[in-house]
Structure 1
Amino acid sequence: MEEKKFDLNSLIGFVLLGAIMIYYFYTNQPTQEELAKQKMEQVQDSIDKLTPVAEQNDVMYEKVEQAPVNPSDSVALSRAQNSLGAFAYSAGLPSATNATTVIENELVKITISNKGGQITEVLLKNYLTYNKLPLYIIKDQNASLNLSFATQDNRNLQTKNLYFEPSLSSNGDNQVLSMKLKVAADRYLEYRYELKPDEYMLDFAVRTQGMEQAINTSQAINLDWQLKSFRTEKSVKYENQYTDLRYLENGTFEYMNAMSDEDEEDVSNLNWVAFKQQFFTSVLLAEDNFESAKLISKNLVVNEDIDTIYTKKYEAYIPLVAKNGELDYNMNMYYGPVDYTVLSKYEGKQLDRIVSLGWGIFRWINKFVFIPVFSFLSSFIGNFGIVIILMTIVVRIIMSPVVYKSYLSSAKMKVLRPEMQDINEKLKGKENAMKRQQETMALQRKAGVNPLSGCIPALIQMPVFFALFRFFPSNIDIRQKGFLWADDLSAYDEVLQLPFKIPFYGDHVSLFPILASIAIFFYMQMTQSQQMNMQQPQQEGMPDMQKMMKMMMWFSPIMMMFFFNTYASSLSLYYFVSNLLTIIIMLVIKHFIIDEDKIHANIQENKKRPEKKKSAFRQKLDDAMKQAQVQQEKQKKGGR
């Protein structure tokens, strides 16, 4: 094989080629200015990809931000006019700064910025967060109120990027703040805020004057209102369950599911929209209905076990209609507590629907029974734990006739039980099931005993149970009010922090749910025999009700303890006292009111009396059972 020789010419060629390439890249590398420009373009491209651009009615609104301009700076003024057109006028005013103006009363402090003319802070003076910090509904850019519009010279602008001129005045005792976005001294877009003493409600208006030559009213003008609701309560999970978007559409109340990760609705004839937290809310109301709106709710709680700043993100996109080339909208804003007493005084607006009192009969019970009783008791008793106990006593006394009725039915069934067992012994077997049932019902009818009368009282108590389940978590009066070891009756009463988390239970131990579970256990143990008395003796092929009741006696208290561990301690306190009182009432009825011998004598007397005429329903039922029995006997004969 021929040996390869060193090729000097090839080496020289590679060296020269490398030198040429190095020279090319060196002479063509970008300058520092070009590198900086490329980097800025890359950053801006990333921002554009991450930042959503509002698109309403097929109009794309660009992010054109106004910067303060010195009127003597002709270059800056020219640039502003190129980007903003007529709206460059406001950039040259002394108000073109990030300065703010405050309007406040005894309840609320509202800060409004020159930039955007919008509210940048809302402080509720009489409330604190769960960790005792000042309670803000709006702060640190968690909210935005913005008008998006097209100009006559084909620009797309947003008011949140432009500067308004403030003017603070008074209207009697009311504070009035006018924020004007000017294109000339007498031509402007105005936001007008008016705050009354001792009111959370704020009058708000959007108006234009002489703006038909600046704003293109033939294209959409959109009011975009957004808010990320702050976490203000102890339990993120519990608070998030009661945080939702609510609205009144054409006089009909609607809401979005608080447990949904994202919900979106297109509505028409919108009366108001509320961005609701558990105990606080932001509401935008229209004097005349908004013709249409798009409402969006997004859940921001990714993990309920981790502390978070925000719970939900709300968005409302509302098209505004110009009349005769001008805007003229009178509205209201409410930033304050979800307090039934406060909200219900705005008659005709149905703002009390923002309070989560349940639906149908449950809401009716809360509005006309529990709220008045609670308000009456708390008007002269300062300790809300005692108020809850007294309220429980009142409810139990009112419901005691129902308990008596149930126990009386149980006692009657207990007296009849030996005779029903005799019927079962006499008519054994599946073939006698229909006849056995007929004779049992005839015995009960002659004795004047209705087996369903024991179930009806329990059903009557169910609406009360569900109404209270809504009442306590929505009652802002008990928020951060302590009782015994619970420092906040609207939150769980933690007595022990666990170093680990138990599934479905949590990482802490609450004492009131444990006490309530113990009370339920003893209550169910007492009622087990009562419930068995209400049952007919076990028949062939039927499940063993005693075993099922024993399982329920253990399962229900454990479920109660797990379920209520993160719920409001006021709810657990109520159920603990309620079950304790029910046990006492049942013992009193059993030992001092019910006389089984007397009941037995009355039943025997009833059996001697002529049977009353059957109702039409009872007659049809008996006829159906007889027909079924005849059919069964025919089948038996045919099978032989």
Structure 2
Amino acid sequence: MEEKKLDINSIIGFLLIGAILLYMLWQNQPTPEELAAQEEAKQEQLASEAANQADAEMTITDNSSSNQLPTDSLGLASLKNKIGDFAYALTLPSATSNITTFENEVLALKIDNKGGFISEVRLKSYVNHDSVPVYLIKDGSSVFNLNFATSDNRTLNSTNLYFQPTLSTSGENQVLSMRLKVSETQFLEYRYELKPNDYMLGFSVKSQGLSNVLNTSQDVKLDWKFKAHRQDQSVSFENRYTRLTYQHEGDKINKLSQSGDDDETESDLAWLSFRQHFFSTILVPETPFKTADLKSFDLVKDETIDTLYTKRYEVQLPLTYSGGELAHNMNIYYGPTYDDILSKYDRNLEASIPFGWGIFGWINKAVFSPLYAWLTNYLSYGIAIIVMTIMVKIVLSFVQYKQFLSQAKMRILKPELDAIREKHKNNKMKAQQETMAVQNKAGASPLSGCLPGMLQMPVFYALFMFFPIAFELRQKSFLWVDDLSSYDSILELPYNIPFYGDHISLFPILASIAIFFYMKMTTGQQMATQPTQEGMPDMGKMMKYMIYLSPVIMLVFFNNYASGLSLYYFISNLISIGIMIVIKNYIIDEEKVLAKIQVSKAKPKKQNRFQKKMADIMAQAEAQKEAQQKRKK
């Protein structure tokens, strides 16, 4: 095989060709003037191309992205493949995230073209604990979406599409129409109507000419996600009264969990309330939703950490077609959780306020709420609490009198009852029979002291529920208190004490001191009436522990509670102590009580049905015991 070698002549030839090419390039290079002219021509060409592109294309800017979607003939065809006939809406000037402002004397609303729903709600008359305007919706805290199917097998979400706004008036009312258009005569519409000085916003979802565009065999899903803004000073206190509440199946009122996460599926939903303690967002359909999926998520995982939101709510509701079109009339309430305002709409919306269940709620709605509202017409809000407390204690003073009278009788009978127990210390059944006989003749019974106390419980619990939800107390000052609906801090702590908090409230301290002396007096009275028997020293010790334990519980539990409630307990216990002293020293004369007992004993006493039945049972038990003892012998 012949060996291939590089020819020297070839090398010389390549070098010569390269040299010639370099010379030609150098010889033909442009002058500096030519370079400047070329650069100027290039810039003019780029500017011309940009202008032509701006004239030929319309762009839509998404809030969540900087990408732009061209809607020229090719781009629109591409979008139509994605969203079908609704691509027409992207060719309109409204196809951008512009805001429409919609307001009256009490509400300021903002509605975004993208999604067509409310992006901000401000209550004009209120501020939060930091003196910042109260926003029920702000910064994406609410997402309202319609998920619907089209006749060409697409599934679309209204939040991704652009509505065209039109403002008009209807009498004194303002009307805002937001239309998602397929053509100028075919559209899906959100219609908002706002009356003067009203918290209730008219809202409807309707379609026109879409029977052939939408898949009417499938319900439209209304999907609303809502985060509750923090408004109060105490996160833990506010979160306790922030709940999703709803009316369903006629007149049933229910609610999701106060703490933690919860979900329910309900039927025949008349309204649902996103309650934020003193403020609420309530969806009120003209006709009940046939089903509803409801969810609530607690966002406050650590109450010692400052937070922006307390709970997140999620609801899914079906919107059905009628005659091939959507036609659903609703209302949305944005305003105070205040009985006087909610009740005027005549939809039982005031039931969303946690007045308490059963008789407790009835007492609050029928007695304390109107009574306190009446008092505040003439008195400051703190003085009104004191006056209402005095009125309640005067009405219940006969109960305390009955309790003290019963205790006085039992205290007078104690030596005689102790003698009976000592006589029959080996026969407890016999001792009990004779004890009941003496008490019956004397007209004294432990139950007669317990029953009056039980009558106070509904009032006690009703007021416990009333003050934390009394909207009248919100941001009302009294003495050193800035807000009677929140805690009255007199000292901020540099650390957080578990269960207590990072501050010291004064009214809970005063209430704890008052309840300590009240319990010391009442416990002493009760122990004086207890019979002397085995086991009673331990009972007495437990009662003494309660004297100290109850004020401590009061102090810790109420440190973050509404100061109006602590004020009530402080005044209530002071009045109770005063009533006890008056009854004991000036009303009940134990010598007269003893004389009445002696007279009562001398009279033949007929047993009532209950007493007779108890005596018969005890007699039978005693007979059985004697029979058993005889058989053993």
TM over 0.5: yes
**Residue aligning to 1:396:** 393
Alpha-carbon offset, residue 67 of structure 1: 11
Q: Deviations over 1:483-524 (max 9, x none)?
A: 122211111111112223222222221111111010001001
Alignment of 1:416-455 (within 5 A): 416-428=413-425, 431-455=426-450
Alpha-carbon offset, residue 258 of structure 1: 3.5
Check the 8 A contact 1:283/1:334 in 2, yes or no.
yes
Q: Which amino acid aligns with 1:571?
A: L
**Residue aligning to 2:457:** 462
Alignment of 1:299-378 (within 5 A): 299-347=298-346, 349-378=347-376
The whole-number CA distance in structure 1 between the counterparts of 2:128 and 2:496 is: 25
Structure 2: gaps (5+ residues):
1-61
**Residue aligning to 2:53:** none
Q: Which amino acid aligns with 1:581?
A: I
Alignment of 1:473-492 (within 5 A): 473-492=468-487
The whole-number CA distance in structure 1 between the counterparts of 2:77 and 2:314 is: 36
With the length of structure 2 as denominator, give the TM-score of the two structures: 0.87
Cα gap change, 1:68/1:194 in structure 2, threshold over 3 Å: closer, same or farther? farther
The whole-number CA distance in structure 2 between the counterparts of 1:620 and 1:219 is: 67
Q: Which amino acid aligns with 1:351?
A: L
Alpha-carbon offset, residue 616 of structure 1: 2.4
Q: Deviations over 1:344-379 (max 9, x none)?
A: 1121x2111111101001100101110111011001
Cα gap change, 1:65/1:499 in structure 2, threshold over 3 Å: closer, same or farther? closer
User: Are 2:178 and 1:179 equivalent residues in the alignment?
Assistant: yes
Check the 8 A contact 1:454/1:534 in 2, yes or no.
no
The whole-number CA distance in structure 2 between the counterparts of 1:201 and 1:506 is: 38
Q: Which amino acid aligns with 2:465?
A: R
The whole-number CA distance in structure 2 between the counterparts of 1:406 and 1:88 is: 79
Alpha-carbon offset, residue 632 of structure 1: 2.2
Alpha-carbon offset, residue 633 of structure 1: 2.5
Q: Which amino acid aligns with 1:452?
A: L
Alignment of 1:133-532 (within 5 A): 133-347=132-346, 349-381=347-379, 383-428=380-425, 431-532=426-527
The whole-number CA distance in structure 1 between the counterparts of 2:352 and 2:515 is: 33
The whole-number CA distance in structure 2 between the counterparts of 1:568 and 1:72 is: 57
SS in 2 for 1:565: helix
Check the 8 A contact 1:245/1:274 in 2, yes or no.
yes
Q: Which amino acid aligns with 1:377?
A: L
Check the 8 A contact 2:256/2:295 in 1, yes or no.
no
Alpha-carbon offset, residue 88 of structure 1: 1.2
Q: Deviations over 1:51-103 (max 9, x none)?
A: xxxxxxxxxxxx99999999983233223322222111111111112111122
With the length of structure 1 as denominator, give the TM-score of the two structures: 0.86
The whole-number CA distance in structure 1 between the counterparts of 2:626 and 2:198 is: 79
SS in 1 for 2:323: coil
The whole-number CA distance in structure 1 between the counterparts of 2:269 and 2:509 is: 46
Check the 8 A contact 2:253/2:351 in 1, yes or no.
no
The whole-number CA distance in structure 1 between the counterparts of 2:71 and 2:421 is: 107
Alpha-carbon offset, residue 138 of structure 1: 0.3
Alpha-carbon offset, residue 624 of structure 1: 1.2
Cα RMSD, aligned residues only: 2.0
Cα gap change, 1:66/1:213 in structure 2, threshold over 3 Å: closer, same or farther? farther
Aligned residues: 572
Alignment of 1:564-579 (within 5 A): 564-579=558-573
Q: Which amino acid aligns with 1:546?
A: G
Cα gap change, 1:72/1:625 in structure 2, threshold over 3 Å: closer, same or farther? closer
Cα gap change, 1:262/1:560 in structure 2, threshold over 3 Å: closer, same or farther? same
Alpha-carbon offset, residue 219 of structure 1: 2.4
Cα gap change, 1:68/1:380 in structure 2, threshold over 3 Å: closer, same or farther? farther
The whole-number CA distance in structure 2 between the counterparts of 1:551 and 1:307 is: 37
**Residue aligning to 1:88:** 87
The whole-number CA distance in structure 2 between the counterparts of 1:371 and 1:472 is: 9
The whole-number CA distance in structure 2 between the counterparts of 1:351 and 1:72 is: 47
Q: Deviations over 1:398-418 (max 9, x none)?
A: 111111111111111112122
Q: Return 70-79 or 467-476, whichever deviates more.
A: 70-79
Cα gap change, 1:476/1:64 in structure 2, threshold over 3 Å: closer, same or farther? closer
Q: Deviations over 1:190-249 (max 9, x none)?
A: 100001112101110000000112211122311111101111111111111111111111
**Residue aligning to 2:8:** none
**Residue aligning to 1:60:** none
User: Are 2:602 and 1:608 equivalent residues in the alignment?
Assistant: yes
Check the 8 A contact 2:145/2:157 in 1, yes or no.
yes
Alpha-carbon offset, residue 528 of structure 1: 1.7
Check the 8 A contact 2:85/2:182 in 1, yes or no.
yes
Alignment of 1:532-571 (within 5 A): 532-535=527-530, 537-541=531-535, 544-571=538-565
Q: Deviations over 1:524-575 (max 9, x none)?
A: 111123212443x122355633222111111111111111111111111100
Cα gap change, 1:626/1:159 in structure 2, threshold over 3 Å: closer, same or farther? same
The whole-number CA distance in structure 1 between the counterparts of 2:262 and 2:469 is: 23
Structure label with greater radius of gyration? 2
Q: Which amino acid aligns with 2:416?
A: E
SS in 2 for 1:344: helix
Q: Return 139-148 or 625-634, whichever deviates more.
A: 625-634
Q: Deviations over 1:141-195 (max 9, x none)?
A: 1001111111122221111111111111111111110111111011110100001
The whole-number CA distance in structure 2 between the counterparts of 1:572 and 1:80 is: 63
**Residue aligning to 1:587:** 581
The whole-number CA distance in structure 1 between the counterparts of 2:113 and 2:437 is: 84
Q: Which amino acid aligns with 2:414?
A: R
Q: Which amino acid aligns with 1:617?
A: F
The whole-number CA distance in structure 2 between the counterparts of 1:534 and 1:575 is: 27
SS in 2 for 1:345: helix
SS in 1 for 2:399: helix
Check the 8 A contact 1:447/1:606 in 2, yes or no.
yes
Q: Which amino acid aligns with 2:365?
A: K
SS in 2 for 1:76: helix
Structure 1: gaps (5+ residues):
1-62
**Residue aligning to 1:117:** 116
